[in-house]
Amino acid sequence: MGRLSVDLCGIELDNPVIPASGTFGYGYEFAEIYDINCLGTFSFKGTTREPRFGNPTPRIAECTAGLINAIGLQNPGVDKVIAEELPKMAKVFHKKVMANVSGFSVEDYAYTCEKLDKIDQVGWLEVNISCPNVHGGGMTFGTDPKAAASVVGAVKKVTTKPVIIKLTPNVTDITAIARACEAEGADGISLINTLLGMRIDLKTRRPVIANVMGGFSGPAVFPVALRMVYQVAKAVKVPVIGIGGVSTAEDVIEMMLAGATAVEVGAANLVDPMACKNIIDDLPKVMDKYRIETLKDIIGGMR
């Protein structure tokens, strides 16, 4: 393993930097800008059992040190993803990819995960029980330990690949959800998904986003995400992926010191398409600055 390498659920990553689902599409758009094989891996656009058009527009609102989105899991459905998107992705990305899965019932999650589990290029299943932008599913499962556990149990019965559960921060005790997922067999935990937020247009006195509320992300959420990653890493024995406001190599190292094995980069990709490549390029210099020999040695290393 190299200086930047980490082991995520038994699969080696060249580095811990992973573009987060919903901010990197299916990769091939970014491959026109740089060689995306420099990434550890990436989590492709959230996939559901059936095609989804998503929420009505407007879907995005800018705010101080971040943005609010309510895309609503727009995607072509799992069958089309497998038939059309993954073959195109394979032409530009030659490593295992992370499949992000959402659903509106336990059966939905199991169905979609079982299909994606059979695809060789999929290395991990990131099960999103934390989307705040849909009704009748998504975050509903991630706010109750029993509901979260029911999704994990159903998915683990029909899959063989590592299952990583993506958690919502919109709860009182995120460690209770994480422990329930681990107890049902989750191979890893990723957190945090977006915080709930909203904006109001002062001229119209109406919500900026048609969905009224949406997911708040960006640099402003980093301290909250870091705190929750630290709490969950202390509460479970499975690997943790840190997400939330990460935009620099220093942020990556901070997340890893808090207990993250790998780190996902989300909103930063929407601000600068080169964000992940720049972070990877900067990591060795920042490691030298702080006298870090290998990244795997600092996981959970906060003193």
Cα distances from 5 to residues 148, 250, 256, 296, in angstroms, run 31, 17, 13, 7
131 is catalytic: yes
pLDDT digits (tens, 9 = 90+) for 215-262: 999 999 999 999 999 999 999 999 999 999 999 999 999 999 999 999
Report whether CATH 1.10.3720.10 matches the domain 6-54+73-195+218-298: no
Catalytic residue among 9, 38, 63, 131: 131
Local confidence pLDDT in tens for the 303 residues of the chain: 799 999 999 999 999 999 999 999 999 999 999 999 999 999 999 999 999 998 999 999 999 999 999 988 899 999 999 999 999 999 999 999 999 999 999 999 999 999 999 999 999 999 999 755 444 455 568 888 999 999 999 999 999 999 999 999 999 999 999 999 999 999 999 999 999 999 999 999 999 999 999 999 999 999 999 999 999 999 999 999 999 999 999 999 999 999 999 999 999 999 999 999 999 999 999 999 999 999 999 999 998
Domains in the chain: boundaries:
6-54+73-195+218-298
Q: What is the CA radius of gyration of the chain?
A: 18
pLDDT digits (tens, 9 = 90+) for 188-212: 999 999 999 999 999 999 999 999 9
